[in-house]
């Protein structure tokens, strides 16, 4: 039904006035597109507020500060040593977005427990999977938007890069890092433990980067850093295998996390 709790809690009266009174108790799929758009935007905005705990501006300022620091360091380097195309993806996009995904994903369960609203998730009418999928879908949509924003900013400040391709390549390991953290948060019933384990695994992967970065099995596979001894066609094939594999692994961990949420007593303890 349209009058879900998340809409009833909204402090934006325009969303209610923009809907025909005869349609207010209709299902979302039955509404015309003109009525669906403001509802979808309001739900997205509210979910984003919950995800960032009303600190969205601080997260954006943190990312901007990281870019400014990287730009100053890069500007003070000699022209030969400045950041090239193959450096932009890991340094400016993958690493900061993966760290942000770990932090936000570890808060998904923790914030609900701290606010004592986790029990509500299990008593919501209908499928609780819809509630979690809406939350996680919003989180990943925000990370994808940030990937495009970071890629665009890097294009205008560092070097000429393919904005769309760079953003998509950055989002793939970010999605995996977030899904892995959520899985550990459900498994350990602790967001802090999940964040520590996920961060430790990511650091461990980076420690073996020298051994893995020229293979298809590296999480932070860089399609723009083609080894000289390898055929570009083979490298492109490896890129597709890596991206599809990482997305499937992230999707599997997300599925396992959602299945783990069925054990109500385990999470509420």
**Which H, E and C letters describe 123-173, residue by residue?**
HCCCCHHHHHHHHHHHHHHHHHHHHHHHHHHHHHHCCCCCHHHHHHHHHHH
Q: What is the mean pLDDT of residues 143-163?
A: 91
- Give residue 123's pLDDT band: very low, low, confident or very high (50, 70, 90): low
Contact in structure between 144 and 162 (CB atoms under 8 Å) = no
Instruction: Give the pLDDT confidence score for residue 20 in this predicted structure.
Output: 52
> ∠72-78-81 over CA atoms, to 5°?
90
Contact in structure between 172 and 94 (CB atoms under 8 Å) = no
- Give residue 266's pLDDT band: very low, low, confident or very high (50, 70, 90): low
> ∠222-75-56 over CA atoms, to 5°?
65
Q: What is the mean pLDDT of residues 91-104?
A: 90
Q: Which string of DSSP letters, residue by residue, matches 184-212?
A: HHHHHT-HHHHHHHHHHHHHHHHHTHHHH
Tell me the pLDDT of the chain averaged across its residues.
Answer: 80
Q: What is the mean pLDDT of residues 148-154?
A: 93
Length of the chain: 269
Greatest CA separation found in the chain?
67
Instruction: Give the pLDDT confidence score for residue 8 in this predicted structure.
Output: 44
Instruction: Give the pLDDT confidence score for residue 5 in this predicted structure.
Output: 45
Share of the chain above pLDDT 70, in %: 76
Contact in structure between 170 and 93 (CB atoms under 8 Å) = yes
Q: Is 111 exposed, middle or buried (0-12, 13-18, 19+ CB in 10 A)?
A: middle
**Tokens linked to 264:** 């109500």
Cα–Cα distance between 233 and 154 in angstroms, integer?
27
| Tens digit of each residue's pLDDT (9 = 90 or more) over 16-62 | 444 455 555 566 566 666 766 777 778 778 777 777 776 778 888 88
Question: Residue 170 above 90 pLDDT?
Answer: yes
Please give the residue that has the higher pLDDT: either 28 or 147. 147
Return the CA Rg of the chain: 21
Q: Which of 93, 86, 94, 91 is nearest to 235 (CA)?
A: 86
Please give the residue that has the higher pLDDT: either 6 or 220. 220
Cα four-point dihedral sign 158, 240, 198, 187 = positive
Q: What is the mean pLDDT of residues 66-83?
A: 87
pTM of the model: 0.81
**Tokens linked to 181:** 């953290």
Q: What is the mean pLDDT of residues 249-263?
A: 85
Cα–Cα distance between 133 and 128 in angstroms, integer?
9
Please give the residue that has the higher pLDDT: either 228 or 6. 228
């Amino acid at each position: 039904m349209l009058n879900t709790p998340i809409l009833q809690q909204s402090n934006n009266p325009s969303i209610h006035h923009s809907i025909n009174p005869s349609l207010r108790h209709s299902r979302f799929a039955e509404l015309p597109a003109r009525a669906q758009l403001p509802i979808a935007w309001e739900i997205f905005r509210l979910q984003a507020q919950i995800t960032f705990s009303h600190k969205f501006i601080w997260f954006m300022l943190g990312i901007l500060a990281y870019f400014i620091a990287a730009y100053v360091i890069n500007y003070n380097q000699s022209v030969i040593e400045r950041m090239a195309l193959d450096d932009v993806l890991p340094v400016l996009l993958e690493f900061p977005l993966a760290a942000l995904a770990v932090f936000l994903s570890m808060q998904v369960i923790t914030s609900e427990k701290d606010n004592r609203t986790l029990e509500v998730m299990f008593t919501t009418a209908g499928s609780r999977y819809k509630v979690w999928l809406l939350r996680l879908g919003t989180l990943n949509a925000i990370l994808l938007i940030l990937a495009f924003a970071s890629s665009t900013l890097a294009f205008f400040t560092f070097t000429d890069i393919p904005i769309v391709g760079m953003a998509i390549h950055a989002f793939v390991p970010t999605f995996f890092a977030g899904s892995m953290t959520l899985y550990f948060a459900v498994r350990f019933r602790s967001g802090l433990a999940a964040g520590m384990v996920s961060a430790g695994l990511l650091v461990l992967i980076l420690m073996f980067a020298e051994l893995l970065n020229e293979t298809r099995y590296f999480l932070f596979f860089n399609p723009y850093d083609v080894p000289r001894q390898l055929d570009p066609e083979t490298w492109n094939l490896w890129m597709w295998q890596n991206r599809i594999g990482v997305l499937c692994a992230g999707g599997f961990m997300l599925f396992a996390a959602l299945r783990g949420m069925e054990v109500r007593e385990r999470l509420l303890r």
